[in-house]
Structure 1
């Protein structure tokens, strides 16, 4: 694809570093037979961690907080509004200590366990398989179950599949019916362990590949007409050897997806505060967020080597910002606030996933509520929606739309001698031929002018929304829950197929053709 350079004048101004001047860039958008942006890229992740499940999703049937089968109605409504496509559960690290039969049957008979990974709290198993799968039905979302490989057995895993998917007569199907569910749920997506290089067992990739082969062999779809989608526990960030071993050693008829985990932070071991951060910490966080482009590209290249037809898919089932926990909260609960910095992480990450939709078919933001880069935070009966929620809401228009490839040279965001691409863009066309363009400017100080060549499209004009605020550290609170919300955006001009927009510093804009 052809790339467009900055004009000579804008290059000179940029290199001289004049403050207050906006850089300019031109974006080519192609209309061609292309891939669909899989809606599962907009997936979510809910682990038994801190206040994610209990007090987040689940308040119990007897709660004064309005609920449906114990799940907060306000959160159900918010997730429905996101058109949440898929939800991953019960972990995370918790998955490889979780025994699913502890969470079924009469609640008074369920055993308690200690959550050894997250805070050492007692888990009473009141939220289990039925609760989660019924919630997914309520949301209209696909369930994604992460199974216990680290401390479980092949039989335990196979029994869980039979319990949720078998409609005939069998020991596990009969047990499900005794527990009040006649029809199976037909669960398609299954994670075969989680982070097997770490909390899942500190395994070598060679050992895990053999273990995966064993478990995958005993996975039976039963009455699920679409079959099972088996996801191998994949690499930690840039462990390319892990991906190489899985693609080389696992027969391709036993695997549908390979996972990848990568978080954004200031630096590992010194993640910094979620709200009280400076520009150096912001720049470092954006550096790790934008590295997702490199990670997806290099892991995809390894997958291409062994799977040139793209039958096995890349699943980024944990991503998001990770900072030090909020002061005076349990350090094992990973509760943090959500600022405009997180909106930047969300915007650029989703653009990367969209643009790599040839191989990336699912991504799961960590996590849904009260943990890490959550889309919602709760405090008793109160709930607020974070800037990340609003980015996900603005971007939902890309779900299952046709990817429109973009080509451009980004202006740079520079800080103390280092530079990052300031502008991130992805585009799509839905089944009604409506074009959507999502653009992000991560520069903390400078606006950026972006020009789009849309001469090949039949467009009359655009509507647009923007998410922006006065300071990078701005966030929504329970006292001011709508400090940051999407607003109408008018700082653009469209004439004869040429669209010019001015992106304010640290802003997210989504445009819709009309």
Structure 2
């Protein structure tokens, strides 16, 4: 018999879901392993923006909020559950106005600057290089440092790389030691500027390519650092940056091209594009907009393939996620927004797209980690709540460094509302590092459930177990008073008559290990 487990609320919704649509066939081609899904696909982004760092992550060592050397214990503990593989810092737009020497030495002696990009607030530089790498150490993650090309100099960037990585008798290594860290920092990735087409300098791609060639010629990580260098690429429909950079950058230290795309639902009939309180038209439009990521990646990868046939370069989606109107009453420029079930759906759809392009998409960074845009976590003083997006990330942890395997979908209906139509079901599969076969499914339809007939080539799928994420309302979200409105529930199914059928509730994400 089939077995399904849910919380009481989820069970009620499951029972109420209609399954009038025909079964969707999902065939996992387990004997055809593809590229590894890099763990870095699940990267995070922490910018000096609003309370994304100050208050949300950093409270200082003297705070009454429990912390370890200034970093909040509750937030760090929750993030560790996600096995965060890499954190991008200090920006974003902030990176191209950040001067690294402002953030070293005694905090009481650091200069105060104006954060002209984000709210015009004072930036006291309490979080600098050493504090960031303390966070990296606490999380057990890798560092993606973004250098200042826009308002900085070649010398400044080169000296930061030396300060970070040099050993021996280098004067900058000695300065780092006096500031409390004798050993070199491990810098896994270094970004040369950010959004050269916009806040990073309003450059033409030709200008940026020339600047990259010049800057990187003087960046010399210490031997053994293995730092990868990322060029700041394009955004949205524009493939010209990827095309030009992949053909014109000549220096040897060139490992990837970044790309940015934010999902927005567009304005409703009242001219609003809010994070909550939306109707189904804004639901489907948002999901249709996030699905554009598939075409954007494919088009950029096609350009890279023309110039980099050996696939040396990575396509790095280091800013992605939802962007709505700021939460009412929040400070201007802080980009505070609520996070609902819709955001978790956006995350899962993007994960499945990234997996399908694992040969090129080797790192991404969602914007952002705490309190800003599509955050994992929201805080207010000493309070903390996990968002639906946090739960989506945790459900997909088994896909980190898993080996992708092809998935064939048959009889997949369209979910349609008015003139907008998208596939009802999205799927991805991989062989985990633990040897298990994992399947991720997304049912985009908020009104109808879906039946999925699962087959594994060369084997019998006998059962599946994992978790399901859904809720009663499209804009269901967690609050400090009600933190469990959207939370994963156990999911199990067993084959009947030699056939494994998974029933997906409406508007749900299901991630399971399939037993062969």
TM-score, length basis structure 2? 0.93
Note closer, same or farther for the CA distance 1:415–1:369 as it changes in structure 2 (3 Å cut): same
Find the aligned partners of 1:81 and 1:285 in 2 and give their Cα distance. 28
| Cα drift, residue 186 of structure 1 | 2.1
Instruction: Write the distance in 2 (CA, Å) between the matches of 1:444 and 1:77.
Output: 33
> Residues of 2 paired with 1:365 and 1:303: CA distance?
23
Partner SS, residue 396 of structure 2: helix
CA shift, 1:28, in A, is 1.9
Aligned residue-pair number: 494
**Structural mapping, 1:262-277, within 5 Å:** 262-267=261-266, 272-277=273-278
2:244 maps to 1:245: yes
What value does the CA root-mean-square deviation take over the aligned residues? 1.6
Q: Deviations over 1:475-509 (max 9, x none)?
A: 0000011111110124x442577431121111000
Change (3 A) 1:301 1:480: same
User: Do the aligned partners of residues 236 and 455 (structure 1) sit closer, same or farther apart at CA in structure 2, a change above 3 Å counting?
Assistant: closer
**1:262 Cα offset (Å):** 0.4
Aligned to 1:291: 292
Residues in 2 aligned to 1:326 and 1:138: alpha-carbon distance in whole angstroms: 30
Matches within 5 A, 1:357-436: 357-409=358-410, 410-436=412-438
Cα pair 2:469 2:489 within 8 Å, conserved: yes
Gaps of 5+ in 1: 1-18
Helix, strand or coil: the match of 1:253?
coil
Matching of residue 89 in structure 1 with residue 93 in structure 2: no
- Using the TM superposition, give the Cα deviation of residue 432 of structure 1 relative to its aligned residue in structure 2, in angstroms: 3.0
Runs of 4+ in 1 over 3 A off after TM superposition: 268-271, 457-460, 495-498
Alignment of 1:141-290 (within 5 A): 141-223=141-223, 225-251=224-250, 253-267=252-266, 272-290=273-291
One of 445, 448, 451 as aligned partner of 2:450: 448
Q: Secondary structure at the match of 1:235?
A: coil
Partner of 2:321: 320
Secondary structure, in 3 states, of the residue corresponding to 1:209?
Answer: helix
Residues 366, 374 of structure 1: 8 Å contact kept: yes
Identify the range of structure 1 (320-329 vs 452-461) with the bigger mean alpha-carbon deviation.
452-461
CA contact 1:213–1:254 (8 Å) conserved in 2: no
1:125 is paired with a residue whose SS is: coil
Give the distance between the partners of 1:307 and 1:23, measured in 2 at CA.
Answer: 43
Deviation at 1:461, TM superposition (A): 2.5
Say whether the 8 Å CA contact 2:216–2:251 is kept in structure 1: no
Separation in structure 1 between the aligned mates of residue 267 and residue 175 of structure 2, nearest angstrom: 45
Aligned partner of 2:98 in structure 1 is 98
Counterpart of 2:7 in structure 1 is none
The verdict on how the C-alpha distance between 1:268 and 1:117 changes in structure 2, with shifts beyond 3 A counting, is farther
1:506 aligned partner: 507
Aligned to 2:138: 138
TM-score (norm 1): 0.93
Q: Displacement of 1:473 after TM fit?
A: 0.9
More contact order relative to length (CA 8 Å, sep ≥ 6): 2
Change beyond 3 A, Cα 1:61–1:319: same
Deviation at 1:417, TM superposition (A): 2.8
- After superposition, the C-alpha distances for 1:196-225 in whole angstroms (9 at most, x for unaligned) are 1000011001110110111111111214x1
